Amino acid sequence: MAKQRPARSRRAFVGAAIAGLPAALLLRRAAASDKMTKPQAEYQDTPNGIYSCGLCTLFVAPDGCKVVDGVIGKDGWCKAFAAVD
């Protein structure tokens, strides 16, 4: 027969995972609230060719962005542009 691992190590792992979950969620929330400034994102009020904020997955209508702080126009563009699939 194969030796079975003690149940205590599994319990310790599960306990540590549960204890660490709130800390991981807090770190994720803090990182999500940090937005770039317009200069950091190299934001411009005009489109870059055919690419504009209105076509970006990060754009939040009518004038917001998930990663750039401030008022964002749908005709603007920045280096964080991510095309909608």
Domain boundaries, the chain: 34-84
Helix and strand numbers (H, E) in the chain are 2, 2
pTM of the prediction? 0.59
- pLDDT tens readout for residues 33-42: 589 999 999 9
Please give the residue that has the higher pLDDT: either 7 or 37.
37
Assigned fold of 34-84:
High-Potential Iron-Sulfur Protein; Chain A (4.10.490)
41: helix, coil or strand?
helix
Longest dimension (CA), the chain: 71
